[in-house]
Chains A and B, each alone.
Chain A
Amino acid sequence: METILFLAHTEQDGSLAKPALEALAAARLLAKQAAEATLAVGLAGEDPAAAANQIGSCGAARFLGVSGAEFAVPRYATDAAAAEALVRAAGATLIVAPSTSRWARCLGGVAQRLGGRIDTHITGIAVPEGRVTVPRWYYRQRMEALLARSHRPWFLLVDPGCFDPWAGEPAQAALEPVAAPTGSRTRFIEYRAPQAGEQTIRPDAKLLFVAGAGWTKKQPDGKVHVEEAAELILTFLRKTQASLGSSKSLVDLSGEGQVVLPFLSHLNQVGQTGSTPRHPKGLATCCHGEEPHVVGWRFIHERRAVNLDPNCGWAQGKADVLYVADAFAVLRKLNELL
């Protein structure tokens, strides 16, 4: 018999964000499929009562909460202490949590404290023949494995975008307070937005727009047109509300003496040493579609590319459509049409 704990932290406004509601849907699915399983909710935050009420009708047998100002901010020591206390209080054997930066930072350590095991980047959950089985990717999304564990407790961090978020009605929940230690040498200061002041990463966008290194290379007139490239790309992003990705790391580009688009940060990088975002569509421009970058496109369904090289990586079965064209001219016209 499994005791399933849905583990979440509140956001700054005290609510539960979409990734948490997706993980709740995963936990409920698991509770439904596993024989004689019970579902509990564990919440951490300054005051998790509102979050408990937000999911009060989810069918959980218990609602446990660690509260206090110390747990309002993301920080390994206090987040790990809260999660550990909640898992212990629930007597959980399976812990389902959203793969937020906050939980991803500490739940591995919590699993270690509790003598448990952990798997992250979970993309689904099933219970064939009574055995909890989860799929996840290995080698930077190059191969997918189905795995099961006999060890408990077992922590499962669910990747965003893999489950439909739970959408039940709010209801009054009887929140049981759980105590957790609060000491830490670390002080949270702030969240810092990109230096250019323009938010270009939009995880919920329908389109991923990748700006390759070609935008900052010499054009047919023998000159570099970084300012024009920046203006074209930003205009496109504003009009489409697309999320911006880059093909190469900034440190690689600057190390090679190349100019870098001013609004790109490390976080825009998609691929081997970057992110693997989830968007329905992706448009790559001035990018050769090399394997270390394209592994980050695993979860982009429809793919199109604009490149002057008809033999680039995108032409080798990596894109649905490759337009052999000048991205400057195409984007200039595209911005007029959109």
Chain B
Amino acid sequence: MPVYHIVVCGGIVPDPLQTLEPVTSPAGPALKNEMMLPAVLDPWAAHALYEAAHLAKQAQGSKVWLVSLAPKAKLQQVMMSVAQKVPFELVAVDGPASGFTDSFEVAAALAQAIEAIPGLDRSRLLVFGGWESASRGAGTTMQMLGERLGITEQFQGVDELSIGEDESLRILERVEGGKHQVSVCHGLPALLGWATGNLPEPPNNPKIGMENMRSLMPALQRAKAVKLPSEGLAFSAVSVPSQRRETRIVKDLTAEQVAEEIAAWIRGD
């Protein structure tokens, strides 16, 4: 198995169970009490991290970096749990994690951070990330980042990566109609925007946590602050549409009666 230098890009997002409310800030739209909301590593980026760690474990000598753009204090909180999952070295960039920032500017900040990683071998480089974030959800940051790094072999919605005997990458990407597209890529570098992948969330491992913590705090202290002014982007409205329905709860019908009612509804009677 060849050696890989795997850079995983992953931001943080509000915990999916939180209620979100938009507010207007001097910098544009934001979330109410954004800094107070519990945050998690972006779900698809988290899958990318687990896949990266799995690949690095198989390929002896490989290394994983996690590059994250988020407010430093918030990132530190999230890393307390993420760091216990898999081994990685954090590269922190101190900036907004908001979904209302521009992917063009985020990609620029991430590319700058990656280019500054000491000892990164670009000829062995795999760039991983989530194919869409749970905040902006545009699915464009990774592509722009890849272009900035000169990577033109890119894959999005990846559910599976396997390494061939000739070291080729065999990749399954999600496409329309519940199908996967199978492609083979020869040579590195390559960029993979992961969907769910095939690996469950690893259990917490205190030993890994201790090892990660050695580099984690210095990385947070070194984090460079970036501004994302979203130039040329103007939001005229951000709102939460009312989605509450008047639910009719039907408790006292038999299964037959329920089936008849649903059948009529499906038929449009």
Residues in A neighbouring B94, C-beta threshold 8 A: none
Whole-angstrom distance between the Cβ of B67 and the nearest chain A Cβ: 18
Residues in A neighbouring B240, C-beta threshold 8 A: 142-144
Residues in B neighbouring A1, C-beta threshold 8 A: none
For chain A, residues 252 to 272, give those with C-beta under 8 angstroms from any C-beta of chain B. 252, 254-256, 265-269, 272
Q: Is the CB of A191 within 8 A of B235?
A: no
Contact of B196 (CB < 8 Å), options: A106, A112, A273, A292: A273
B199 on interface, CB distance cutoff 8 Å: yes
Q: Is the CB of B154 within 8 A of A105?
A: yes
Q: Is the CB of A189 within 8 A of B184?
A: yes
Q: Is the CB of B44 within 8 A of A273?
A: yes
Q: Is the CB of A186 within 8 A of B179?
A: no
Contact string, B235-256, partner A, CB cutoff 8 A, digits 1/0? 1111111011111111101011
Residues in B neighbouring A266, C-beta threshold 8 A: 159, 174, 195-196
* Contact size range, B: 35 or more
- Contacts known (A108-B143, A207-B266, A251-B197); A267 close to B104, Cβ less than 8 A: no
For chain B, residues 138 to 184, give those with C-beta under 8 angstroms from any C-beta of chain A. 138-144, 146-148, 152-157, 159, 170, 172-184
Q: Is the CB of A147 within 8 A of B236?
A: yes
Segment touching B, from A27-35, A63-71, A163-171, A310-318: A310-318
What separation, in Å, do the CA atoms of A145 and B125 have in the docked complex? 36
> Which of B29, B31, B185: most chain A CB closer than 10 A?
B185
Q: Is the CB of A322 within 8 A of B137?
A: no
Q: Can you name the residue of chain A whose Cβ is closest to the Cβ of B256?
A: A333
Contact of B103 (CB < 8 Å), options: A118, A251, A310: A118
Whole-angstrom distance between the Cβ of B188 and the nearest chain A Cβ: 9
For chain B, residues 184 to 237, give those with C-beta under 8 angstroms from any C-beta of chain A. 184-187, 195-201, 231-237
Q: Is the CB of B245 within 8 A of A142?
A: no
Residues in B neighbouring A336, C-beta threshold 8 A: 259
> Which of A203, A329, A337: most chain B CB closer than 10 A?
A337
How many residue pairs link A and B with beta carbons under 8 A? The number is: 288
Q: Is the CB of A108 within 8 A of B140?
A: yes
A185 on interface, CB distance cutoff 8 Å: yes
Q: Is the CB of B235 within 8 A of A330?
A: no
Q: Is the CB of A194 within 8 A of B155?
A: no
Residues in A neighbouring B127, C-beta threshold 8 A: none
B80 on interface, CB distance cutoff 8 Å: no
Contact string, B75-116, partner A, CB cutoff 8 A, digits 1/0? 000000000000000000000000110111001000000000
Whole-angstrom distance between the Cβ of A338 and the nearest chain B Cβ: 6
What separation, in Å, do the CA atoms of A325 and B136 have in the docked complex? 38
Residues in A neighbouring B62, C-beta threshold 8 A: none
Whole-angstrom distance between the Cβ of B268 and the nearest chain A Cβ: 9
Residues in B neighbouring A317, C-beta threshold 8 A: 243-247
- Contacts known (A104-B139, A323-B253); A144 close to B235, Cβ less than 8 A: no
A54 on interface, CB distance cutoff 8 Å: no
Q: Is the CB of A138 within 8 A of B99?
A: yes
Chain B residues near A (Cβ < 8 Å): 13-14, 16-17, 20, 22, 29, 31, 43-44, 47, 99-100, 102-104, 107, 134-144, 146-148, 152-157, 159, 170, 172-187, 195-201, 231-241, 243-251, 253, 255-256, 258-263, 265-266
Taking A139-B99, A273-B47, A333-B258 as known contacts, 18 extra A-B pairs with beta carbons closer than 8 A to each other, sorted by chain A number, are A76-B154, A77-B152, A101-B175, A101-B176, A107-B140, A112-B104, A112-B148, A137-B137, A147-B234, A148-B233, A188-B182, A190-B181, A192-B172, A192-B182, A310-B249, A318-B245, A323-B253, A325-B255
List the 3 closest pairs (A to B, CB-CB), nearest first. Answer: A255-B200, A201-B178, A108-B140
